[in-house]
Amino acid sequence: MKKRYVDRLVRGAMRLATYFVVAVIAYILIDIIVNGLPAISWQFLTGVPRRGGAQGGIFPAIVGTIYLVAGTIVVALPIGMATAVYLSEYARQGRFTRTVRLAIITLAGVPSIVFGLFGLGVFVLFFGFGASILAGSLTLACMVLPIIVVASEEALRAIPQYLREGSLALGAGKWQTIQKNVLPYAIPGMITGSVLSIGRAAGETAPILFTVAAFYLPNLPRSVFDQVMVLPYHLYVLATQHPAAEQVRPMQYGTALVLVTLVLSVNLGAILLRIHFRRKYRW
Amino acid sequence: MVEGFKPKIRTVDVDFFYGKVQALFKISLEIPEKQVTALIGPSGCGKSTFLRTLNRMNDIIDGTRLEGKVTIDGQDIYAPGTDVVTLRRRVGMVFQKSNPFPKSVFDNVAYGPRIFGMKDRRRLGEIVERSLERAGLWLEVKDRLRHNAMQLSGGQQQRLCIARALAVDPDIILMDEPASALDPLSTSRIEDLISELRRNYTIVIVTHNMQQAARVSDYTAFFYEGRLIEFDQTEQLFTRPTEKRTEDYITGRFG
């Protein structure tokens, strides 16, 4: 008798927790869509902000965000994947790899504002990149690197050992084996994990605060050394720094909607990519 | 030990270590050319470890070490400067778990030749056909060369792995319990294939199945606790073993 009550209680509690999670997501999305949709217009998406963002559009911020995400991918993906391949395929497992893994996990836990200050100190000031797309991308890349490494290593470790042995036994070299019989199967997982983390980084404000984000810059960047407007920072400014925060509410919601859509489409891209690769390589 | 054959592989006092654990003790064995040599013994006796010393597959495990000498055609394969890639090309291997790559049948068999730089599609096609024919699989898959190899049955997958090994033209084929995961019919096909292949290849096969060793092999080596207990012509070893432990094992008293 008692067992049945316990079971029922546990199941009920867990279901409640699940509903709670769904409710939070649904509330956020519905709130943003309902309030943001009216603000969306052709002019909003393609225009430049006017009167401190109270009117006009957010085009420069959209472009800036896209540049920043692209820059982050270009920097972080190759380095992260190479690290993962080294750790999982080449490095002798032992104290060294344990230390590196510990460092990576620690790095993943560092608050984003610390990355922001690090980026300011190293990329903006020390290397003299100034507040720029370059400095911002590098900062975001540092932030997502640990996640990319962990996700990629997991994807590599999911590849059964017999595929490596089978290839080596045929006389393939180590790199040939990795290139022909490990990476093709691991890359979908590596990319998916990595892109998801980059999508998350695209919404961060703290790391870009000092390294790239411009408060108001209607011109589009001409090189990687230019500052840009970025959606999360624009949203932050509209919501907290604007003298008439109440009046620009629709602009805030519109910006939030665009930002969420952008991040979700990056994620969707990752998922589509995975489906494509899954179809190509099955085992 | 056994007179009257030409040794292809010779091991002299081979000790093998996984870290600090010694897995093989002073193994000295001469494996005859173009014959089937079976390695038998209970689980953990070192027969698979020994097999993997013959194409240096143990090298890929961190912290392993070999002492003693392994020669193939008189060449020390552990001598400094030995090209492991060339060695593994000469010494093919078929694994216990059939391990086709998640690629097409064609790409599986062409994997080895491509590794060695062959690009000519016609030549590749010929090699693939010949290898599949030798592995007794050609008729079954000739219309499915572009299909994913994972769609083949277990027995076909294992013969595909044999074809893949044959495609790089080895002189020696190592087989690590090649039929242990297969149904009786597929097993007997593999065994027929082994008898077929021994005309052109030196075959070393690890097996748990004593009847199989008796059926397919010309010579049998009995391993126990990392040591070579007895090595003889299969018929001799199975009918008149000289060692008590061999007799106990083949009559099923342990292991």
pLDDT digits (tens, 9 = 90+) for A196-245: 888 888 888 889 988 988 888 888 888 888 889 999 999 988 888 877 77
A139-144: average pLDDT: 94
The answer as to whether A242 is a domain residue is yes
CA distance A82 to chain B (A): 20
Name every chain A residue with its beta carbon within 8 A of the beta carbon of B116.
Answer: 171
Tell me whether residues B101 and A171 touch, CB distance under 8 A. Answer: no
The contacts of residue A176 (CB under 8 Å, 6+ apart) are A167, B115
- What is the extent of the structural domain holding A225? 40-280
Least confident of A159-173, A179-193, A206-220, B21-35: A206-220
Cβ of residue B82 closer than 8 Å to a chain A Cβ: no
B102 vs A94, A165, A281: nearest CB: A281
Cβ of residue B178 closer than 8 Å to a chain A Cβ: no
Name every chain A residue with its beta carbon within 8 A of the beta carbon of B150.
Answer: 282-283
pLDDT in tens, A3-17: 889 999 999 999 999
**Half-sphere exposure for A132 (CA within 13 Å, toward CB):** 16
Cβ of residue B79 closer than 8 Å to a chain A Cβ: no
CA–CA dist B180, B192 (Å, integer): 15
Least confident of A18-32, A40-54, B170-184: A40-54
- pLDDT of A149 reads 94
Proportion of chain A in helix, strand, coil states, percent, rounded to 5:
75, 0, 20
Cα separations in angstroms, B93 against B31, B180, B212: 16, 15, 19
Name every chain B residue with its beta carbon within 8 A of the beta carbon of A92.
Answer: 62
What are φ and ψ of residue A144, in 5° steps?
Answer: -90, -15
Name every chain B residue with its beta carbon within 8 A of the beta carbon of A176.
Answer: 115
Of B66, B1, B3, whose CA–CA distance to B28 is shortest? B1
Cα separations in angstroms, B232 against A15, B42, B48, B50, B242: 67, 18, 19, 17, 10
Tell me whether residues A185 and B164 touch, CB distance under 8 A. Answer: no
Positive or negative: CA dihedral B114, B116, B121, B127: negative
Is the pLDDT confidence value at A283 over 60?
no
- % pLDDT > 70, chain A: 98
Residues of chain B with pLDDT under 70: 1-4, 253-255
A107-132: average pLDDT: 92
Number of domains into which chain A is organized: 1
A170 vs B148, B150, B168: nearest CB: B168
Of B91, B97, B7, B17, whose CA–CA distance to B51 is shortest? B91
Cβ of residue B138 closer than 8 Å to a chain A Cβ: no
What average pLDDT is seen over chain A?
A: 89
- pLDDT of A281 reads 65
CA–CA dist B119, B121 (Å, integer): 6
Place of tokens 């024919």: B133
Of B96, B92, B70, B68, whose CA–CA distance to B82 is shortest? B70
Check if the beta carbon of residue A272 is closer than 8 Å to that of residue A51.
Answer: no
Give the pairing type, strands B172-176 and B91-94. Answer: parallel
Q: What is the DSSP letter of A241?
A: I
Tell me whether residues A166 and B95 touch, CB distance under 8 A. Answer: yes
Proportion of chain B in helix, strand, coil states, percent, rounded to 5:
40, 25, 35
ipTM for the complex shown:
0.89
Please give the single-letter amino acid code of residue B172.
I
Polymer length of chain B: 255
- pLDDT of A126 reads 94
Confidence of residue A94 (pLDDT cuts 50, 70, 90): confident
The answer as to whether A20 is a domain residue is no
The answer as to whether A29 is a domain residue is no
What are φ and ψ of residue A238, in 5° steps?
Answer: -60, -40
B121-143: burial string, b at 16+ Cβ within 10 Å, e else: eeebeebbbbbbebbbbbebbee
In the three-class reduction of DSSP (H, G, I as helix; E, B as strand; rest coil), residue B125 is classed as helix
**pTM for this prediction:** 0.83
Is the pLDDT confidence value at A21 over 60?
yes
The contacts of residue A73 (CB under 8 Å, 6+ apart) are A195, A198
Confidence of residue A282 (pLDDT cuts 50, 70, 90): low
Tell me whether residues A185 and B60 touch, CB distance under 8 A. Answer: no
pLDDT in tens, B203-248: 999 998 888 999 999 999 999 999 999 999 999 999 999 999 999 8
CA distance B222 to chain A (A): 25
Cβ of residue B171 closer than 8 Å to a chain A Cβ: no
Tell me whether residues B101 and A181 touch, CB distance under 8 A. Answer: yes
Residue ranges and CATH numbers for the domains of chain B are 7-250 (3.40.50.300)
- pLDDT of B254 reads 65
**Which of the residues B60, B86, B116 would you substitute to probe the A interface, choosing the one with the greatest number of A C-beta atoms within 10 Å?**
B60
The answer as to whether A46 is a domain residue is yes
CA–CA dist A201, A207 (Å, integer): 9
Tell me whether residues A169 and B89 touch, CB distance under 8 A. Answer: no
- pLDDT of A9 reads 93
Check if the beta carbon of residue B147 is closer than 8 Å to that of residue B92.
Answer: no
For position A92, which CATH number holds?
Answer: 1.10.3720.10
Is the pLDDT confidence value at A277 over 90?
no
Please spell the DSSP secondary structure of A66-98, one letter per residue: HHHHHHHHHHHHHHHHHHHHIIIIISPTTHHHH
- pLDDT of A12 reads 94
Of A259, A257, A253, whose CA–CA distance to A229 is shortest? A259
A189-198: average pLDDT: 87
